[in-house]
Structure 1
Amino acid sequence: MCGIAGVFHHQSEQAIDAQTLVNMAAIMHHRGPDGFGYQIKDARGVGFSHARLSIIDLDENRARQPFLSADQRLMLAHNGEFYDFKRIRADLTARGARFRTKSDSEIVLHLYERYGLDTTLKSLRGEFAFSLYDEKEDSLYLVRDRFGIKPLYWTETANGVVFGSELKVLFAHPEVKREFSPQGLYHQLIQVMVPGSTAFEGVQQVQPGYVVKLKRVNGKLQISEHKYWDVDFPLEHQHAGDEADEQAYIEGVRAQLLEAVQHRMTADVPVGCYLSGGIDSCSILGLAAASTQTSVKAFTIGFDSDDYDETPIAVEMAEATQADHHIMRLKANDLYDHFVKTLWHTERTIYNTLGVAKYLMSQQVNQAGYKVVMTGEGSDELFAGYPAFRKDMFLHGLDHLPEVERLEWQELLEKNNALFKGAMLAREEFVSEAFNQKMGFTPSCVQPWLSCSPIAEKLMAQGMRDKVADYDPSAAIADTLDDTMLRDRHPLDRAQYVWIKTMLEGQILTWGGDRVDMANSMEARPAFLDHHLAEYAFKVPPHLRIKGNKEKYVLREAMKGLLPETLYKREKFAFMAPPAHTDPEKWKAVEKLADQFLSKEAVEQAGLLDYDEVTATFARHNDEQTPAEERVQLDAVINHLLGVQILHHHFVATDVPADAQKRADELGWHA
């Protein structure tokens, strides 16, 4: 739920413009259309604002944020949901706390007052990002949930720090510069980001499981960060071997997932479910339906391509659970018709138009009167569902297999992974020295994107290219990974760790999750990313995550009674939109966008790309002799080319502070 924003000045006596805070909330009205609030602590140089999507405690006057503690010492602005908050409230009340709202957010103030930040964070369960100012310490804490489900950005200006739930919130502040960094541009073109970074100069993210602390000392903010949680797999020798009690793990996964789903059904508004034809969302719907006496609303995206459409299985699952089923059927050109608007929300490039499809789906969820849905994100990360994991398991985790069995594995991998090559799998093996040194091999999940580096570098304008001449994008990513979480771990655990730290946070939870969901005031709740479930899943032995070349084995067995037989037996399917080259109408829509954003004039004005190389890339894509796998890769590259130009249009060429003021005026939001 909601969006947050704020300013913390170096000098406590420097005044904060209240209307700027309101404008920062107004530009993210889509995140919180149900009301706004702001607070400025006079003579403290700190102010917060908040745009609210009311899901728990619908009383707008009572639950309006930012919150102040009873003694005015603490100020809080929160985005997200805390689960199991009623138990925590009851315990705190028994210890003398006095709550002024029914909101889950308020528990942070009372936990922090009594126990401090470290214990508070251990108590919080859910998806969240919040800012907490402590007047006694004269410190501001920026906190993000364990997996990065909710976004939180910050940047330093001449006068202090500006933060917010989206980049456009920061850009609405007139002191924040809006320009691409050369490294940020490079990573937009290859898809995979450096954790904690953005495309823009000086703008950072609070990393998942981290706290950024800003403490004012002698008129200057001292900035530090620390990690309060990480993806901590057991050491390899600590995993149970062949003697593992398989049934116990199956029962454990079932119990943990059921609890996570039931917590996420807590709301003062109806909760629906996204439903693809995969095990993940079908499991969520099945457990949700079994946990309530009413029919669950289910929402499905259907594509006009048999290779990518999962509607038939989704229909079967909806009928089995007696769900109220809504199907949105998309045609090829629907996706690029909404590409530009989608990128205003994602604030980063996207390699596949699944992000557009999910943007359109959240629109329909909103029109159906729903604010909350549960989703299946996180399952593949916990239970090794992606083709890259099977490949790494085969290459690095099954050295002990007899040659005959290894050949059988290899044959199955080649057959099953054909649809993913060029996108989720590299066309050819790519080796990164930095990753090899860090973890012993280059994980398959980052290979397709890192392999685009030579292409991306050539596509950059000469001035930008010169600034990354000695830059190694793979080393920049590898350097952020914690050695202690990789050392002495099973190869599959290492591969999953890298995916969670890169693709999950930077892609799936961003342009495939929060940003396109909240674009239409719709909160997604990924039950698989409940940290209690995750910590249990980390302990499941690798051979029960992938067993006999069957991915997500332990989850599949745990959900066997809920799933249609066809789905139970089915292998991992590529839930992605059909690439542009697969449909003439879709490619026409790409060319129409290119005429606008990749024309010679547009490219030269932005100063980001090399027009001759852009033209050559399109020529290679259109050459009928170009192999299909390469065209899949070029589809992604072209999406990124369009993306950086569109982002430049949205956030650099456009006067964002003026747009924010205009939006506030339209809404009637004034200080």
Structure 2
Amino acid sequence: MCGIAGLWSPHYDDQTKAHTEKMADTLYHRGPDGRGFLHDPENGLAMIHTRLSIIGLNSGTQPIHGREDDGTAHLKLTVNGEFYDYKRIRGLLRTDGYWFNTRSDSEIAMKLYDKHGLDFVHHLRGEFAFALFDEAKQQLIIVRDRFGIRPLYYHKGDKGFFWASEIKAMLAHPDVPRNVCPKAQLHQMMQVMVPGMTLFEDIHALKPGHMLIVSRKGDDFEVEERRYWDAEFPLDGQHDDLSDEEHIENVRRALVESITLRLEADVPVACYLSGGIDSCSIIGMAAAIQQSPVKAFTISFDDDRYDEAHIATEMAEMVGADQDILKLKATDLYGENFEKAVYYSERTFYNTLGVAKMLMSEHVRKVGYKVVITGEGSDELFGGYAQFKADYFLHDPAYAQTAAGEDMKKRNAIFSGSVLAEKQISHPAFEEVMGFTPSWIQPWMLVLERVKPLLSDEFKARLGDYDPVAAIAYSLDRSMLDGRHVLDKVQYSWIKTMLEGQILNWGGDRVDMANSLESRPAFLDHHVAELALRIPPHVRIRDGIEKWVVREAMKHVLPEVLYKREKFAFMAPPAHTDAEKTAEINKLIEKWLSSEEIAEHGIFDEAKLRQSIEDYRKSDDHAQNTRKDIILNHAIALHAIDELL
């Protein structure tokens, strides 16, 4: 795990080295164990690497240079992330005559590229973002993993092509403009981004499962975007026709392999442990695989309605794990910690869970761990979210259990106003693209409804007739939706938007790497994913039980209370639920939503925003106050982010 950045420019000059040092400085948190540079004035190229040493502790310096003796001297490489099963691949490459300069996993990408050309990405397994320069072809290839677990951004402008693990590294270079995009600000206010969009105009996120092939054309660069993988569900009725027992055993086998690979490192590996099935399954399997106590880290909130630590403790005791519980108070989630989470995430967030996870990563590093295995991705692949079940109940004629859907909403009433909408709404663009408006986006459409009246006339004029919900819907690939089952459509639309933009961003890599901690989501191994995509919907959700096949596959390692428990969204208590939290968010409001800040940024109509805040302070409607909490979190962060980056 590391940070990477670089530039390829016809304007390479005497200041380039100083600029790249500043770029590297912004990525120190991603790689405090060392930094490396390639400066190639002849080609106008600079490559930057900040290292977090996990594998090959004493021989993993980057950028990695190819070798004359195996014909790869024209290649240069920087990698952020992990390639799994690399020892087997290195062995195969050696038989083909390739030699290695390091003992790290990263170097296999260079040799596989030389052997297979651009098809080399299909041989890579793991969580990664990397840049590979081919001097002979005058091409730069940047690649991001299949789900976007590791971040990677780029900018093409008059001064050249720039890339980096985080936007702040590019903004450290004077030739990269920092023009804030009003459309992106609106998307962040409603929580959902269009794939590839960032807060800044002309700075793009490389989409998951994509590569860019950048070719030099005189003093300009030609950029080709190529998708090499997607979460492709089979057509409805063409899922794997296997017995329940076969599905269960296949899932169990795939997860054992994925977790085994992610336990490999030259430093100790721990696990995150919440009260959910996913992290509990991982720690149960990890304990069985390594046959020794696993270090488990758990977050505990000071609100019993949101706290799952007691279930996590039951799991830890069951497998003999060494559990470490971080107890967080209201005051921990706001103030300077809130601002730090915004800085590292480079985007707004609706809930302070990201702040909590950032504090957990800080604690894990202080205890002495650099790597944790996490449970992200299981809900996306196996139908775990309440919103997914809601659409299954509503839109599958064969299932048609609307009463069950209403019961589910009652049991999850605490999340009304955040991840669950309190009323059904629709949008014509989603009706056109998917045949219905998925339940997962409806809460954010309701947020948008409440945001629009708060916007200033100037800001609305900059937006024109832009429709963010339509932009999200039309960003989805119709060929991956047409002819699919309703559950597959919902899961696909979430995977392409919220998984990468939320779960893996301010809920994953960005707040973990804020403290130089590598997180490894075992469920997002693409071998596990490709298996899950082929499992029939009624095996993923059975009789209203979400992730049924995972429950059955992990039944032998789960306590009974967890095996039978319905999915409970993991989130921090909203500000309005506690007087101390309310006091803390009021301090942020005073600092970041002052008259001066509102005037400077020009997003909000001050009178309307003030009235909205006053109404919020007087209300006792949980759903509406939860939504106001969301809007305030976003508004505070939008003002803060421009000054923090």
Number of aligned residue pairs: 640
Whether the aligned pair in 2 keeps the contact of 1:358 and 1:517 (CA below 8 Å) is yes
- Rounded to whole Å, the distance in 2 between the matches of 1:407 and 1:633 is 25
Match of 1:470 in 2: 465
Match of 1:70 in 2: 67
Whether the aligned pair in 2 keeps the contact of 1:251 and 1:558 (CA below 8 Å) is yes
- Cα RMSD after superposing both structures: 1.4
- Rounded to whole Å, the distance in 1 between the matches of 2:179 and 2:111 is 40
Whether the aligned pair in 1 keeps the contact of 2:188 and 2:348 (CA below 8 Å) is yes
- Rounded to whole Å, the distance in 1 between the matches of 2:175 and 2:601 is 21
Question: 1:118-517, aligned counterparts within 5 Å?
Answer: 118=119, 120-239=120-239, 244-337=242-335, 338-397=337-396, 399-401=397-399, 406=401, 408-517=403-512
Tell me the SS of whatever aligns to 1:221. Answer: strand
Whether the aligned pair in 2 keeps the contact of 1:303 and 1:329 (CA below 8 Å) is yes
Offset of 1:15 from its aligned partner? 6.3
- Rounded to whole Å, the distance in 2 between the matches of 1:469 and 1:388 is 31
Offset of 1:503 from its aligned partner? 0.7
Offset of 1:63 from its aligned partner? 1.6
Letter in 2 for 1:110: K
Tell me whether 1:638 sits opposite 2:639 in the alignment: no
- Rounded to whole Å, the distance in 1 between the matches of 2:207 and 2:27 is 21
Q: Which moved more, 1:542-551 or 1:212-221?
A: 212-221
Offset of 1:14 from its aligned partner? 5.8
Letter in 2 for 1:112: Y
Match of 1:95 in 2: 96
Offset of 1:462 from its aligned partner? 2.6
CA offsets 1:119-171 (integer angstroms, 9 cap, x no match): x1000000000011111111111110000000001112321111100011111
Letter in 2 for 1:347: E
- Rounded to whole Å, the distance in 1 between the matches of 2:474 and 2:508 is 26
- Rounded to whole Å, the distance in 2 between the matches of 1:269 and 1:543 is 41
Offset of 1:239 from its aligned partner? 2.5
Whether the aligned pair in 1 keeps the contact of 2:275 and 2:308 (CA below 8 Å) is yes
Q: Residues 126 and 16 (structure 1 numbering): CA distance in 2 closer, same or farther, change over 3 Å?
A: farther
Q: Which moved more, 1:213-222 or 1:345-354?
A: 213-222
Letter in 2 for 1:82: F
Offset of 1:114 from its aligned partner? 1.4
Letter in 2 for 1:326: D
Question: 1:608-627, aligned counterparts within 5 Å?
Answer: 608-624=603-619, 627=621
CA offsets 1:245-295 (integer angstroms, 9 cap, x no match): 111100110000110000001100000000001000000000100011332
Match of 2:642 in 1: 648
Whether the aligned pair in 2 keeps the contact of 1:342 and 1:355 (CA below 8 Å) is yes
Offset of 1:451 from its aligned partner? 2.4
Offset of 1:401 from its aligned partner? 4.6
Whether the aligned pair in 2 keeps the contact of 1:12 and 1:46 (CA below 8 Å) is no
Letter in 2 for 1:340: E
CA offsets 1:615-650 (integer angstroms, 9 cap, x no match): 1221221123x5211111111111001110110221
Offset of 1:407 from its aligned partner? 5.0
Q: Residues 109 and 58 (structure 1 numbering): CA distance in 2 closer, same or farther, change over 3 Å?
A: same
- Rounded to whole Å, the distance in 2 between the matches of 1:240 and 1:266 is 31
- Rounded to whole Å, the distance in 1 between the matches of 2:208 and 2:345 is 18
Tell me the SS of whatever aligns to 2:207. Answer: coil
- Rounded to whole Å, the distance in 1 between the matches of 2:197 and 2:270 is 33
TM-score scaled by length of structure 1: 0.94
Q: Residues 407 and 176 (structure 1 numbering): CA distance in 2 closer, same or farther, change over 3 Å?
A: closer
Question: 1:569-588, aligned counterparts within 5 Å?
Answer: 569-588=564-583
Question: 1:589-604, aligned counterparts within 5 Å?
Answer: 589-604=584-599
Whether the aligned pair in 1 keeps the contact of 2:393 and 2:402 (CA below 8 Å) is no
Match of 1:115 in 2: 116
Tell me the SS of whatever aligns to 2:349. Answer: coil
- Rounded to whole Å, the distance in 2 between the matches of 1:56 and 1:413 is 45
- Rounded to whole Å, the distance in 2 between the matches of 1:281 and 1:370 is 17
- Rounded to whole Å, the distance in 1 between the matches of 2:402 and 2:53 is 55
- Rounded to whole Å, the distance in 2 between the matches of 1:36 and 1:558 is 43
Match of 1:45 in 2: 44
Whether the aligned pair in 1 keeps the contact of 2:393 and 2:399 (CA below 8 Å) is no
Offset of 1:177 from its aligned partner? 1.7
Tell me the SS of whatever aligns to 1:266. Answer: coil
Gaps of 5+ in 2: none
Tell me whether 1:544 sits opposite 2:542 in the alignment: no
Whether the aligned pair in 2 keeps the contact of 1:16 and 1:45 (CA below 8 Å) is no
Tell me the SS of whatever aligns to 1:98. Answer: coil
Offset of 1:178 from its aligned partner? 1.6
- Rounded to whole Å, the distance in 1 between the matches of 2:556 and 2:12 is 63
Match of 2:20 in 1: 21
Letter in 1 for 2:89: I
- Rounded to whole Å, the distance in 2 between the matches of 1:457 and 1:389 is 27
Whether the aligned pair in 2 keeps the contact of 1:343 and 1:647 (CA below 8 Å) is yes
- Rounded to whole Å, the distance in 2 between the matches of 1:287 and 1:240 is 25
Q: Which moved more, 1:32-41 or 1:452-461?
A: 452-461
- Rounded to whole Å, the distance in 1 between the matches of 2:454 and 2:155 is 28
Offset of 1:222 from its aligned partner? 0.8
Tell me the SS of whatever aligns to 2:440. Answer: coil
Match of 1:565 in 2: 560
Identity, % of aligned positions: 49
Whether the aligned pair in 1 keeps the contact of 2:11 and 2:159 (CA below 8 Å) is no
CA offsets 1:98-125 (integer angstroms, 9 cap, x no match): 111101000011111111121x100000
CA offsets 1:228-251 (integer angstroms, 9 cap, x no match): 00001110021257xx41111001
- Rounded to whole Å, the distance in 1 between the matches of 2:615 and 2:139 is 54
Whether the aligned pair in 2 keeps the contact of 1:388 and 1:445 (CA below 8 Å) is yes
- Rounded to whole Å, the distance in 1 between the matches of 2:11 and 2:354 is 42
- Rounded to whole Å, the distance in 2 between the matches of 1:438 and 1:407 is 23
Offset of 1:461 from its aligned partner? 3.2
Letter in 2 for 1:641: A
- Rounded to whole Å, the distance in 2 between the matches of 1:593 and 1:638 is 9
CA offsets 1:335-378 (integer angstroms, 9 cap, x no match): 01310111110110010000000000000000010000000000
Q: Which moved more, 1:442-451 or 1:100-109?
A: 442-451
- Rounded to whole Å, the distance in 1 between the matches of 2:20 and 2:167 is 14
Tell me whether 1:34 sits opposite 2:28 in the alignment: no
- Rounded to whole Å, the distance in 2 between the matches of 1:250 and 1:370 is 33
Whether the aligned pair in 2 keeps the contact of 1:606 and 1:648 (CA below 8 Å) is no
Tell me the SS of whatever aligns to 2:298. Answer: strand
